[in-house]
Amino acid sequence: MDLRDSAAERAFRTELRDWLAKTLPALGPKPHHTDWPGRRRYDTAWQRQLFDAGYAGINWPTEYGGRGATPTEHLIFLEETERAGAPYVGVNFVGLLHAGPTIATEGTPEQKAAHLPKILTGEEIWCQGFSEPSAGSDLASMRTRAVRDGDHYVVNGHKIWTSHAEVADYCELLVRTDPDAPKHKGITWLMMAMDSPGLEVRPLNTLLGSSEFSEVFFDNVRIPVSNRVGEENDGWRVTMVTLSFERGTAWVDQIVDSVRLVADLAAIAKKVTTHAGVAWEDRGLRRDIAHLGAEFDALWALTKRGVTEAGSGVPGASASVLKLRYTEARQRLMDLGARVLDRAAVSRTDIAGLPTGEWTTERLNSLSYTIAAGTSQIQRNIIGERILGLPKERG
Amino acid sequence: MYFLPTDEQRELQRGVREVLDSAFPLEKLPGGFDAVVWSTLVETGVFSLRTELELGLVEAALVFEELGRAAVPGPLVGTFLVAGHADGATTVLEARLTPLTVAHLDVATSVLVLDSGGSRLATASDVSGVPLPEPIDPLTPLHELAAAPTGSSIGLDYTRLMNEGALLTGALQVGLAARLTELAVAYAKSREQFDRPIGSFQAVKHICADMFVRTELARASLHSAAVMLDDPEAGDGARAVAGAKLLADEAATLNSRGCTQVHGGMGFTWEVPVHYLLKRAWLQATEFGTADDHAEALAALL
Ligand SMILES: Cc1cc2nc3c(=O)[nH]c(=O)nc-3n(C[C@H](O)[C@H](O)[C@H](O)COP(=O)(O)OP(=O)(O)OC[C@H]3O[C@@H](n4cnc5c(N)ncnc54)[C@H](O)[C@@H]3O)c2cc1C
């Protein structure tokens, strides 16, 4: 066990730091979170800068235009960009982390050539059309139907919670092609252009008061058979490839961010003075902040373990452990933030010279972390059944 | 000893619930403060329980649980506290709060300034403040004030007002906690995944059971505190109120999380009303003492 950078890793880190120090100050201001065209422009411009500097698709193989970095270098990349306050992957998320890797693994040479370069340069934005109103945790029960008509599939049905659907060019879409087969066996994975006729996107308002996701309705939407990734009815296996990407690296930047937030919270606590005194002088509060500091440091260590496991091909337990523990710790951190901020926590904009805007908004946002990408209950089932080998719950 | 509501008390509580179920169902909640509902509450005698009906804090707590269960927006606690001293909707300004913020200033006629140096009543239209652009609870507008206004004394004791306010705010929180449990249980029974109601999964069932247990505990604590404030010989009211507000805050905030979680993705939408209750719970947790304040108060009595 060794936690130090190798000579090559150190060189990579230094080069990246220098580039970030040079590039970030020239970036424009972040658009408001409700300004979707602005967000797309901002996120894709950043992706283009990464591409030009050779950092796009850091972990993608070089044959697809990626950098072919080792998992450790990928980790260094995420760590350094987050620490430097670089823009988040944003609307490029599904393309870079889900659809792109799936196409790279399962797609035809034509599909790879058509999409991978554009995903890397930020020209093509993707969304994920998996969940349906009646198929969330039980994703495999999805019903959106695709029927073959010559060299097209004709799709009818209804997807929900499709993040970034409003700005996406393409959607990784799961459809049911064989309604008679067992539920995992009749699903197909398609690439769908978001300007296809018959497609309607209706934004859904989140409890934050902004539309991060949408409902998508399909009325005889025609998708070329050549847009199918993998075999017909083999979409569930293709999906598992996608989900294994989501549950791996998806949390790295947020854990780095949480380590920073713990430090920020300590600084805020030293500043907040209420009728009860300076928050940091409250032993109970101070210890609770420290406790979360320990947890996020440990989650960061667990992240490194997961990355080493991935690099050595060892199937590890880290992904579900990380997702479960990170998301719940993040919620406790935001609740603790509210305890420190005291009455200031009632404002979603900055007040009293405190960063209440960030903390209160993120406190609300963090409610979704234990739901999206597999709920905490489902993560516990996975840990109990697949890792510990406990019997399944009976219905 | 008889530690259950009497028939009359049950009747009172049921009456208020019936009024609110028809006048202010959850579908009406997004509209915020509702002047018609407010007048109905005034006419029903919700705020003048003590002064006109000669009832006590036990009855008030039962009624405020119902107001909390319906998440009625408005300056409920202040209006009750000043009954007999001032007419009209009265909002509370806790002078010790940083930042100095007050709710529902726009619909109040008076402001009850709770100040350990002397509580007083100010005319709302004389009080100027800056509205917060995005208060946490979209149904409770907040203003930030540069300083607490002056006003005229109404001769009410600060500690007594703080205790009664904490009790009634605790009752609102218990009401929210109970409603959140109801909503979670109803959803867990109707929503199906894997061909069965999600409530049949122990993971979901246990979330609901914990919500129920938290509410029951907080309610027993609340009722006990109400009895003691009405009858000091029954026990240490100050200690009981501190415990009641602390447990009520805990029940309301943890049940908010539980209810959101049980609703899955739906719980994260604006359309489903759970978030309104959650945001109210977070706001009320900062009023009449936070759980930390009350833990300190209780510690001082141990
Ligand atoms: C912010 C956000 C963004 C999202 N983005 C996308 C996206 O881009 N694309 C997409 O396809 N989807 C997306 N989703 C959907 C997400 O994957 C689902 O919300 C999630 O899988 C849960 O499904 P559900 O909402 O139907 O809840 P349900 O499955 O109905 O769950 C309700 C409750 O039941 C519990 N439950 C269900 N089954 C079991 C079980 N077997 N054992 C124990 N408990 C159980 C759950 O844990 C939960 O508490 C997003 C969701 C959110 C909140």
Q: Is 50 exceeded by the pLDDT of residue A53?
A: yes
pLDDT at A314: 65
Last residue of a domain, one of A180, A199, A233: A233
pLDDT band at A319 (very low <50, low <70, confident <90, very high): confident
A189 lies in a domain?
yes
Nearest of A117, A65, A72, A127 to residue A97 by alpha carbon: A127
Min distance A258 CA to chain B CA atoms (Å): 20
pLDDT at A251: 81
Q: Tell me whether residues A346 and B283 touch, CB distance under 8 A.
A: yes
A145 lies in a domain?
yes
Told to judge if A82 belongs to the known catalytic residues of this protein, a careful annotator would answer no
Nearest of B220, B122, B104, B121 to residue B171 by alpha carbon: B220
pLDDT at A71: 84
pLDDT at A32: 86
Q: Tell me whether residues A377 and B204 touch, CB distance under 8 A.
A: yes
Which pair of structure tokens corresponds to residue A272? 């907040």
Taking the centre of ligand 1 as the mean of its atom positions, its distance from the CA of residue A137, in whole angstroms, is 5
CB-based contacts of B220, cutoff 8 Å, min separation 6: none
- Counting the structural domains of chain A, the total is 3
- Give the atom of ligand 1 at the shortest distance from the alpha carbon of B263: 32
pLDDT at A242: 63
Residues A329 and A355 in one domain: yes
pLDDT at A247: 43
pTM over 0.80: yes
Q: What is the ipTM of this complex?
A: 0.97
- Give the atom of ligand 1 at the shortest distance from the alpha carbon of A375: 47
A105 lies in a domain?
no
- Pairing, β B110-114 against β B90-94: parallel
Domain span at residue A317 reads 251-387
A351 bridge partner residues: A354
Taking the centre of ligand 1 as the mean of its atom positions, its distance from the CA of residue B265, in whole angstroms, is 5
Q: What is the CATH number of the domain that holds A47?
A: 1.10.540.10
> Which residues of chain B are within 8 Å of residue A137 when distances are taken between CB atoms?
193-194, 198, 264
Q: What is the dihedral of CA B78, B82, B88, B90, to 10 degrees?
A: -30
Any idea what the Cα angle at residue B18 is, between residues B165 and B139, rounded to 5°? 50
Taking the centre of ligand 1 as the mean of its atom positions, its distance from the CA of residue A97, in whole angstroms, is 19
Each residue of A145-161: pLDDT tens digit? 999 999 999 999 999 99
Q: Tell me whether residues B261 and A370 touch, CB distance under 8 A.
A: yes
A221 lies in a domain?
yes
Compute the distance between CA of residue B275 and CA of residue B269 in angstroms, rounded to an integer. Answer: 8
Other CB atoms within a 10 A radius of the CB of residue A225 amount to 15
**For residue A352, what is the nearest residue in chain B, using CA coordinates?**
B99
Residue type, A32: H
CB-based contacts of A353, cutoff 8 Å, min separation 6: A271
Residues A255 and A382 in one domain: yes
Nearest of A361, A369, A371 to residue A338 by alpha carbon: A361
Residues A368 and A274 in one domain: yes
Any idea what the Cα angle at residue B92 is, between residues B58 and B159, rounded to 5°? 60
Task: For chains A and B, count residue pairs whose Cβ atoms are closer than 8 Å.
Answer: 128
Q: Is 90 exceeded by the pLDDT of residue A313?
A: no
Q: Tell me whether residues B136 and A204 touch, CB distance under 8 A.
A: no
User: Which phi and psi (to 5°) does residue B48 adopt?
Assistant: -110, 25
Q: Is 60 exceeded by the pLDDT of residue A245?
A: no
Each residue of A27-36: pLDDT tens digit? 989 998 888 9
pLDDT at A248: 52
CB-based contacts of A324, cutoff 8 Å, min separation 6: A376, A379, A380, A383
A277 lies in a domain?
yes
Low-confidence ranges of chain B (pLDDT < 70): none
pLDDT at A60: 86
Identify the residues whose C-beta falls under 6 Å from ligand 1: A 128-131, 136-137, 161-163, 212-213, 368, 371-373, 375, 377-378, 381; B 191, 193-194, 198, 201, 203-204, 261-262, 264-265, 268
Q: Tell me whether residues B253 and A335 touch, CB distance under 8 A.
A: yes
CB contact at 8 A, B138 and A209 = yes
Each residue of A370-383: pLDDT tens digit? 999 899 999 999 99
Q: What is the CATH number of the domain that holds A326?
A: 1.20.140.10
Q: What is the dihedral of CA A38, A39, A45, A47, to 10 degrees?
A: -170
A319 lies in a domain?
yes
Min distance B252 CA to chain A CA atoms (Å): 13
Percent with pLDDT over 70 in chain B? 100
pLDDT at A309: 81
pLDDT at A33: 81
Last residue of a domain, one of A188, A207, A233: A233
Compute the distance between CA of residue B203 and CA of residue B189 in angstroms, rounded to an integer. Answer: 14
Residues A63 and A131 in one domain: no
Last residue of a domain, one of A185, A201, A233: A233
Residue type, A363: R
pLDDT band at A246 (very low <50, low <70, confident <90, very high): very low
Largest separation between any pair of C-alpha atoms in chain B? 64
Compute the distance between CA of residue A373 and CA of residue B213 in angstroms, rounded to an integer. Answer: 29
Quick one: which H or E segment has residue B297?
helix B291-301
Nearest of B169, B183, B165, B206 to residue B276 by alpha carbon: B183
pLDDT at A249: 65
- What mean pLDDT value characterizes chain A? 93
**A331, A345, A393: residue with CB nearest B201:** A393
* Domains along the sequence of chain B with CATH: 7-80 (no CATH), 90-153 (no CATH), 158-301 (1.20.140.10)
- Give the atom of ligand 1 at the shortest distance from the alpha carbon of A206: 1
pLDDT band at A315 (very low <50, low <70, confident <90, very high): low
